Structure 1
Amino acid sequence: MSAHGVSAAEAHLPPLTKGPHSRRIGLISIVACLGGLLFGYDTGVSSGAEGPMSRELGLSDLQTGVVISSLVFAAAIGAFIGGRLSDAIGRRKTILVLAVMFFVGVGFVVFAPSTPDAGFAVVVFGRIVLGLAVGGASTVVPVYLAELAPFEIRGSITGRNEMAIVTGQFLAFSVNAMLNASLGHVTGIWRVMFAVCAVPAVALFFGMLRMPESPRWLVEKGRVDEALAVLDTIRSKQRAKAELEQVVGVTIDEKEEETGKPGIRQVFENKWLRRIVLVGIGVAVTQQLTGINAIMYYGPRVLEESGFDESAALTAATAFGLAAVIGGVIALRNMDRLDRRTTFIIGLSLTTLCHLLVGTAGWLIPEDNPARPYVIAVLVFLFVLSMQSFLNIAVWVWLAEIFPLNIRGLAIGISVFFGWMVNGVLALYIPTLVTALGLTTFFLFALIGIIMLGFLWHEVPETRGRTLESLEESLLDGQIYQALPRRLPFAGLFYDRHMH
């Protein structure tokens, strides 16, 4: 359990038991995580498809950047809208809507005209639709899983979505490499690369038709009997009843304290909600400022800068996807064993060290040295492995846990919106930075990492080993911040939290 102990809320719940209900949770997570798989494939496929697509449609470098970044900026909007929509119509229905959007977006990209101007416009439109779906999935699926999972295994259940994301990216890299090797000479091969993700979109839609709604969302909407019916299928009878009583109790207390309709106004009026939403934004932005998605989008370009030719770079980039999958397995194993704060600090420390090593290798090893590309490829591999093993999954799990029920979709949507916006800026400008600065670009990421380490240490509260309801109670009265360190060791100095 958490280093901070188990509160009375957790102690009074009957223990978990094995049975059909535990297998049901596993099935729900597999189906819902198809949304994460689509998220990963759609963000990873562009790394191999951009070259043949740009050549066939006659796209300029700027137009190619617009095609790639349009999905990312749309995802920022999708994250915000998806969070609000899930608060309004439910987590399950929102995921069904997202599945349809994934399929429609793929259709526009695959069947875009081959003429330059029209093709460019249709592809961008399709990528925007896909981006809205990706952003929505990035907020709604983790919340859905967190609200269904028992607190004892919430980290590993919710973390499966990030595992699905990196698996989707690895699948995209592998499909790109195989198609390029076997059919790279065929006109329109990039359309096949994109078309593959139509299959999981269909599976997600039909799978979610048989999945339940979040019991916590049902309680929030006053549908208590339906919530109990759902809990009876995913908990033992005794545990389901006890957990429902706890959820109902906290929800009633919160509603009695509300002065108006839940929303942005409520966030601004409560200093603790304001603070945790700002911290959530900071955590989401920190994740993106590691540059992980710059590698996932432009990994082959980075490898070409290090010395590989185009074909070798595309093949070698699949190793980054493999590193992400291996790291995901490690993260899931540790998610319910290590505190979230611990994984954050370890992860960002390791990624910052890798940035420093990549930048140093690019600076010190001569460009004509045959070992240069392999050394850099190994260091980038270690960066991705560190990121996925300790930081990525923990970030998504933490964001799905920390916010109160009645604003959970809105708050995670706001946080992820800012994360996606930073992601979009990086997607747009990383090619320019790599061209202008080469691998010394990684020194910038290292500097940012050092700064953000201080933020994580100073502001991020622990969530592991607590029910969502006990977290909500301790958040709304500010007690959750009492366990944070009062002093921050940083650059040899100590910063007193109360000096400012």
Structure 2
Amino acid sequence: MDVSKDTPQAPATAAVPDDTPPEVSRRLRLITLVATFGGLLFGYDTGVINGALPYMTDDLGLTPVTEGMVTSSLLLGAALGAVTGGRLSDARGRRRTILTLAVLFFVGALGCTLAPTTAVMVVARFVLGLAVGGASVTVPVYLAEVSPAERRGALVTRNELMIVTGQLLAFTSNAIIAQVGGESGGVWRWMLVVATLPAVVLWFGMLVMPESPRWLASQSRFNDALEVLRQVRSRQRAEAELSEVSALAVKDEQEKLGGWQDIRSTPWVRRLMFVGFGIAVVQQITGVNTIMYYGTQILTDAGFAADSALTANIANGVISVLATFVGIWLLGRVKRRPMLMAGQAGTTVALLLIGVFSLVLPSGDGRAYAVLAMTVTFLAFQQGAISPVTWLMLSEIFPMRMRGFGMGVAAVVLWLTNFVIGLVFPSLVSGIGISSTFFLFVVAGVFSLTFVKLYVPETKGRTLESLEAELRARFS
């Protein structure tokens, strides 16, 4: 199944003139800003463990095994949260699901902050993972369904920008809190409690945001869908888009798309799920989250002092944010597949060099800064190409009535891959060394590049409805 050749683009609603009034553009920007606080929380809660873990290890008496459990329990929760959040958003709506996730973010962050034992910490991190997984699915789908076709890439990837901004915020606040708190007991609790603040902002903000017009159409609430479209489109564009959306909603209703039974009985949907699973795995087996979760320890092993490693790790956060800005700019100008392949090639070379430098350079400043330079290079390709394209394509490729569910199932694969890597990475480094561990990621990168070349379709420039028609024809 080689889908490397593009098919002709279907007529798009984007062809309708869109003389968008300024207040409509402002409304769309506000919706995007509020919804992406879910991405900010995603980023902060996954990144904060990076700096908190060394301090937490002493207070809670963590071993390498329990250290892996504390880190990966969030990822296991995220896997469950992804599929549950996807199903919930299809059944109850994107907006209502995001409101529920805001509550889970708050409760999970507070539970981690107050955790007296390792067991409580693992449970609280699991709850936090439910929210992270749900947000990883629901927010991109919500943004994709609200966005005009020609702006979908830029607006959906704003969520990726907020994710890496959240990680940078975590790295920076960790370093500041560590400097202020010094070696005082419980300094890691202050690092974790910061995450309750954006959770409150997300909940109050979503109270006044509209529901996804495409979800409303999938529920046959066409008048409500038109009302929402008029908030974020010109009048002419809204009416034309509703016509296209409602026609597809009726077709999906007749085919009863939307659950496991339909995946088993509909060949083209099964093939799309295979592609979605592959995209999800490709994003994770670069080893990106070994940098996000264990970056401080990697830099310490490379030769930095503990405090210097915390500060140096901020560079990883800064380059992630800057690279995501570049990625958003590129998505408006280049196709998705070439961008994904370029990112995969870049990360694979960077990982190879991390392994080589760790193996051949003597311990000291030279090796430390060489490894730091390669982690920064790795993140430039990962966050500037692979991650934004991954979340964007997963929000685009599934049919309307099962978009949340389909992306949720693909995200389960993503988070379980993340979970396995996060769980075994400390043991791998301990057992075979950091160089051999990164060489394993290099081999995985070669397989990933091959998969993208052979199986991943192009999605740029289509409305969600015309893209669905294309993929239905291609995979049938």
TM-score (norm 2): 0.96
Cα distance in 1 for partners of 2:394, 2:438 equals 27
Contact 1:14 1:242 in 2 (8 A): no
Partner of 2:462: 466
Q: 1:6 offset after TM fit, Å?
A: 4.2
Is residue 2:72 matched to residue 1:72?
Answer: no
Partner of 2:65: 62
Q: 1:64 offset after TM fit, Å?
A: 1.9
How many residues align? The count is 471
Change (3 A) 1:429 1:300: same
- Which ranges in structure 2 are unaligned for 5 or more consecutive residues? none
Partner of 2:373: 378
* Aligned residue identity for 2:352: L
Partner of 1:109: 112
| 1:73-472 alignment, distance < 5 Å | 73-113=76-116, 119-256=117-254, 258=255, 260=256, 262-367=258-363, 369-436=364-431, 437-472=433-468
TM-score (norm 1): 0.92
- SS of 1:59's equivalent in the other structure is coil
* Aligned residue identity for 1:155: G
- Which ranges in structure 1 are unaligned for 5 or more consecutive residues? 114-118, 482-500
Cα distance in 2 for partners of 1:121, 1:449 equals 35
Contact 1:360 1:440 in 2 (8 A): no
* Aligned residue identity for 2:129: G
- SS of 1:371's equivalent in the other structure is helix
Q: 1:302 offset after TM fit, Å?
A: 0.9
Q: Deviations over 1:353-405 (max 9, x none)?
A: 111111121222123x5311111110111101111111111110010011100
- SS of 2:334's equivalent in the other structure is coil
- The worse-fitting range, judged by mean Cα deviation, of 205-214 and 260-269 is 260-269
Is residue 2:34 matched to residue 1:31?
Answer: yes
* Aligned residue identity for 1:295: I
Cα distance in 2 for partners of 1:160, 1:11 equals 20
Cα distance in 1 for partners of 2:54, 2:231 equals 48
Q: 1:112 offset after TM fit, Å?
A: 2.1
Q: 1:15 offset after TM fit, Å?
A: 3.3
* Aligned residue identity for 2:351: H
Is residue 2:470 matched to residue 1:478?
Answer: no
Contact 1:52 1:190 in 2 (8 A): yes
Cα distance in 1 for partners of 2:59, 2:459 equals 49
Contact 2:258 2:405 in 1 (8 A): no
Q: Deviations over 1:18-69 (max 9, x none)?
A: 4211111100000000000000000000011112112112222222221111
Q: Deviations over 1:87-145 (max 9, x none)?
A: 000000000000000001111111223xxxxx222211211110000000000000000
- SS of 1:315's equivalent in the other structure is helix
Cα distance in 2 for partners of 1:12, 1:153 equals 13
Q: Deviations over 1:164-215 (max 9, x none)?
A: 0000001000011111112122221111100001000000000000000000
Contact 2:13 2:241 in 1 (8 A): no
* Aligned residue identity for 1:87: D
Cα distance in 2 for partners of 1:470, 1:394 equals 19
Contact 1:302 1:434 in 2 (8 A): no
Cα distance in 1 for partners of 2:267, 2:243 equals 28
Q: 1:13 offset after TM fit, Å?
A: 2.7
Cα distance in 1 for partners of 2:337, 2:225 equals 32
Identity %: 45
Contact 1:76 1:418 in 2 (8 A): yes
Cα distance in 2 for partners of 1:106, 1:179 equals 17
Contact 1:71 1:132 in 2 (8 A): yes
Contact 1:279 1:460 in 2 (8 A): yes
Partner of 1:51: 54
Q: 1:308 offset after TM fit, Å?
A: 1.4
| 1:6-25 alignment, distance < 5 Å | 6-10=9-13, 12-15=15-18, 17-25=20-28
Cα distance in 1 for partners of 2:26, 2:330 equals 21
- What do you get for the CA RMSD once the two structures are aligned? 1.5
